[in-house]
Amino acid sequence: MARELHDEYVGLEVEQLQQRAALRHPSTIFTATGGMRVHPDQLRALRDAVLAEAAEANYPYAGTRDGRAEFDLRVARLLHERTGLVPAEAAVRSTWSFLALVLLPDVAYWRYPRAPGDRVLDTDITRHVFGRLWWRAHLLEEPNAVGDRYALIGAFGEAAFDQIFSRRRSLGGSRTLIRALARTWPRLGLAPKDERAVLREVLKRLRRLGAVVDFEALDDGQLARQVAEVADEAVAALRLQP
């Protein structure tokens, strides 16, 4: 059913998709293992909140690249704060296809016009228009922060964070490690054109190091020094390349 909806929606205008938005769908199922069913009023409130953020980025009209990036950051925080999901629930990919194809199809296809399937279907959370945002907030949230616990969300650009999240089985699943890298990242003072290459080198080195070092066993100071050292080595190595 999700594939059929995508095939229909991908050719529609945002104004038409606004009429397709719904709080329920006949194909919706609930797990048999417990948990509270979300009330339609909660879904309506979530839709209204996301629409308000989209309006700030010029929805329903085309926006700027910076506006879309800012929308992503705000919605990442919103989804993490408002949905009440835990990681096990957020890993259920059909949850995100419901948001993109039933609750918020107009926003999903506004954010990614003529979106490829993996942006709205349940095939890959690392690419999903909303799923990747929840996980971005979750991995970078600092629950015990004195100030803004989501201050690290903007440390990486979209493409950079996608590199991290796509390696979640080896690195991206460690909130401790990713937060340490996010704190170190601004200090490197990288130009946007260099960010992806440096991050790729950093992640490669961290994966090798992870074979002999348990990052989760390090205290905050030790981990910060280890990540900073790897980052500095990666920058130096790339500068030596012809």
Q: What is the pLDDT of residues 197-235, one digit of tens each?
A: 899 999 999 988 888 888 888 998 999 999 999 999 999
- Position 68 scores a pLDDT of 93
- Position 144 scores a pLDDT of 82
Helix then strand then coil, in percent of the chain rounded to 5, is 65, 0, 35
Q: Among 41-55, 166-180, 182-196, where is mean pLDDT lowest?
A: 166-180
Whether pLDDT at 4 is above 70:
yes
pLDDT mean over 175-187: 91
Whether pLDDT at 240 is above 90:
no
Burial class, 234, CB count within 10 angstroms (exposed 0-12 / middle 13-18 / buried 19+): buried
User: Using an 8 Å Cβ cutoff, are 59 and 136 in contact?
Assistant: no
Give percent of the chain with pLDDT exceeding 70.
93
Q: Is the peptide bond before 143 cis (omega within 30 degrees of 0)?
A: no
Q: Work out the angle at residue 149's Cα, subtended by the Cα atoms of residues 36 and 145, and round it to the nearest 5 degrees.
A: 115
Whether pLDDT at 146 is above 90:
no
- Position 29 scores a pLDDT of 66
Give percent of the chain with pLDDT exceeding 90.
54
Q: pLDDT confidence of 32, banded at 50, 70, 90?
A: low
Which among 191, 188, 189 is positioned nearest to 230, based on CA atoms?
188
- Position 122 scores a pLDDT of 85
Whether pLDDT at 34 is above 90:
no
Whether pLDDT at 30 is above 70:
no
Task: Quote the mean pLDDT of the chain.
Answer: 88
φ, ψ (nearest 5 deg) of residue 33: -100, 15
Q: What is the pLDDT of residues 46-59, one digit of tens each?
A: 999 999 999 999 99
- Position 98 scores a pLDDT of 93
Q: What is the pLDDT of residues 66-108, one digit of tens each?
A: 999 999 999 999 999 999 898 888 888 888 999 999 999 999 9
User: Using an 8 Å Cβ cutoff, are 102 and 162 in contact?
Assistant: no
